[in-house]
Each structure stands twice: as C-alpha cells, then as structure tokens.
Amino acid sequence: MSQCVPQVRAFTVSAFAASVLLVGCGADGGTSAGRSGPVVPDGVAADLSVTLQQSRLDYADRVVEIEVANMSDTDLVLLGGVLESESFGPSTETTSRPFRPETLAAGGRRGFYVQLGTATCRPDPAEDAVVGAELRAAVTLAAGSRGDHGEPTTVQVPVSDPGDHLTRNLAQDCAAAAVASGVTLTQGETVRTERRGDETVAVLTLTVEPVPGGPDVRITRIDGSTLIDPVDGEAWTGRALAGQDDGVLELALVPTRCDHHAVSEDKRGTFLPVHTTVAGAEQRAVYVPMPDDAKRDLFEYIADYCDWP
C-alpha cells in the first residue's frame, strides 16, 4: 500500500503543550482526505519523547537521527518528520535512508533520518556559533499498522540533544562557511608517489584559490588522518605550508597503519583536516574531501607500501 508523509505546516507551540495538526494527503500519496481508519488520540504529543542522535558515520553527510519514544498506551506508526531549529534551515528527507512507515509500539522507540538544513552563522568569523534554545520536531504519525493505518497526523514535540550534536555541526558548518568566504580549498585529482631515501612516499596536492573580495584566510596546520601521516611529523606546519602563497600545497605522506580493515572500513581518512584563521580569527578545522580518482591512487599506494598480496 502506498504511503505518504504530509508537508508540515508551521505553527507555534507553548512550553507546556504541543498542538496537533491533522494533515491529509492527496491521491498521489495513496491516502485521501476522507480516508477512514483509526485516529491518533488527542494529546498524544505529551506522551512522546524525542531525542537527537548522530553516529560518527553520518558526520560528513550532516545527517541526524530523530528518535521517537512512545510513552502512551497506543500503538502508532511513525511516518517521518522535520527537525526545526533556530540555528538551521528546514531539514530534508535523506536519499540514502528515505522515510518509511515504522511501527512505534506503546513503550517502544523508533527513529527517522534527516539532513540538516543550512546553518545560520554569525557574520563575524571571530564570534562563536551558538545553537538556539528552541529545538523541536514536527513528527508525522498515524494509528494502525504499517500496512493499514489511518489519517496521518503531525505533532510538534520538543527535542533533546544530550550528545550536543547540533553544537558540533553548527560550529563545523560555520567554520566551513567562514573559510569558503575567503578561499576555495580543493584536493588534487591524483596522488603521485616518489622515492625519498629508502622509502616510497605519496604526495597529494591541495589547491588554495582566494575568493575575490573575501577575507584573508591563512592555513596554520593540516593534520593527518586515520589513513595518512605527514612524513615529517604529526601535522603539516611551518615550511610545509609555504606553498599556500602560490596557491598549491604539496603534502608528502605515508600510511598511518597497514591493517586491511583500516582501508576497507574507512569513512573519513581521505578528508584533510585543515586549520585556518579567517581575518585573524582562529577557526575550527574544516575537512576537505578527496576526489575518487585520488582515492584509488592512495589505496593502491597503501597496498604497495604495506606489501599486501
């Protein structure tokens, strides 16, 4: 049976109670406005608890999980929803994990995934980004079963963020925006190798292109990662960064480790953690991704360096 998740209509919520909206779906969504079936009880929002979660594998994609706990005595169906925050624009459904009906039994927990909207940052790069106090979720529910449920109902529920995930995401997004206002950072399409003494090292490039009219951005340090180590220490600093004045950095590296699963399970090891100042203000590290062709070069180099069969 086709399901639909209705669009959320904005409305206000008091600190003590959440209002309920009944929103019908059109024929294209598989549910008509006159659909019969069980109805979500009035006041069910007061019996829902919503928590924001984020796994380390979702950091790069800015995806968070909205976990809903049903503390009522009624079985429900969780259909999706929207995260609403003063610090981010409207969240969106992810393409990798789209909304689908999930049984939210009485006393049970279920979650859905959304991608964070555009961060709302302060204009001065020296000011810290601060997450707004109001954090809510518009959660879309129905009564019945996953395959046969009643009219969708959207309720507004406060959201807790015990892991402070939004603070980290906001700081990361605003640092990236501040840096991007002054320079464009791009990893090269290839990773080459060269012989240095009795060791073969890999060399990747980072292009630094100033943005006309943007603030002055200086790279102060580039860290290694779970996959790569700078040849001359724990990070690229000092003379290793002198090439930024000419627009290209060449960064020599060796593998951090040689166990196979470090590469096969890698999620972030090809991102370069770049530390900068923007108009003299120190920023949180920004992570510059590696193109796919360069990844293949790097993985081949690691295999050769580690003498894998």
Burial of 173 (0-12, 13-18, 19+ CB in 10 A): buried
Predicted TM-score (pTM) of this structure: 0.78
**Mean of the pLDDT values across residues 109-131?**
91
Choose among 219, 210, 206: nearest CA to 271.
206
The tokens for 148 are 């046969």
| DSSP label at residue 43 | T
Q: Mean pLDDT in the chain?
A: 87
Q: What percent of the chain has pLDDT over 90?
A: 72
User: Are 26 and 3 a contacting pair, CB within 8 Å?
Assistant: no
Residue 36: is its pLDDT beyond 70?
no
pLDDT (tens digit, 9 = 90+) per residue, 164-187? Answer: 999 999 999 999 999 999 999 999
pLDDT the model gives residue 127: 86
Q: What 3-state DSSP class applies to 202?
A: strand
